[in-house]
Amino acid sequence: MAKSRNAKNTWVLILCGVVALLLTVGIVTLDRLYTPLDGVIRVGALLGYLGVFLAALSSNYMRELTRYFGRSFITVHHIISVTALVALAVHAVSVAWQMRSAAAFLPRFDTLQLFFALGGRPAFWLLALTSLTALFRTAIGKHWKVIHWLNYVAFALGTIHAQMIGSSFVHLSIRIVGWVMLAVLLGVFVWKRTRKQRALANRSKK
């Protein structure tokens, strides 16, 4: 029984991965691609965006998900995080190649509007920073969680960037889904933190 349950749960993860890939390819094919590089840029952006969302959301339910999938889910969580970062790196490198300039990696502070329009740039470096916390978690100590919260800032910047200049976000349905994803992620984050604070306050009263 335990083996069959584990096998079924593993297939749930595989199915989610396949659906995410098909969804990404489907969205990209909605519009005309002028060059193969355009397709690489869009697939990298969408896969990375979706990966960051799933990694950040699942981090709020690690106990429940680990209980359901087993200890292997922690490894899956890290794989999703790394895959998202790699996909976004492919996106950034492809944009830099298209621009013929490494400036595509640098945030712009000329105006607030330009900073948010190119918010994917600072978001990428924030995600790279939070990924390093997994490698240096022991050295950082309990503060690693605070650094990990930058994932939410990165996702917010990525969402605004996508809404302002993302090629796939010209479609109203995709724009709505993007805002809903951001609202869900921030809502879960606030709810989890406030619930934890209430639990600590109740313990101190006792």
Indicate which CATH number applies to the domain containing 70.
1.20.120
Q: pLDDT tens for residues 96-120?
A: 999 999 999 999 999 999 999 999 9
**Is there a domain that residue 179 lies in?**
yes
**Is there a domain that residue 206 lies in?**
no
% of the chain at pLDDT higher than 90: 41
CA torsion, points 74, 183, 176, 65, in degrees to nearest 10? 20
Within the chain, which residues score under 50 in pLDDT?
A: 1-8
Helices 36-58 and 72-99: crossing angle, nearest 10°? 150
**Is there a domain that residue 205 lies in?**
no
| Structural domain total, the chain | 1
Question: What range defines the domain where residue 160 resides?
Answer: 2-101+108-200
**Is there a domain that residue 138 lies in?**
yes
pTM of the model: 0.84
Q: Which of 48, 75, 74 is nearest to 154 (CA)?
A: 48
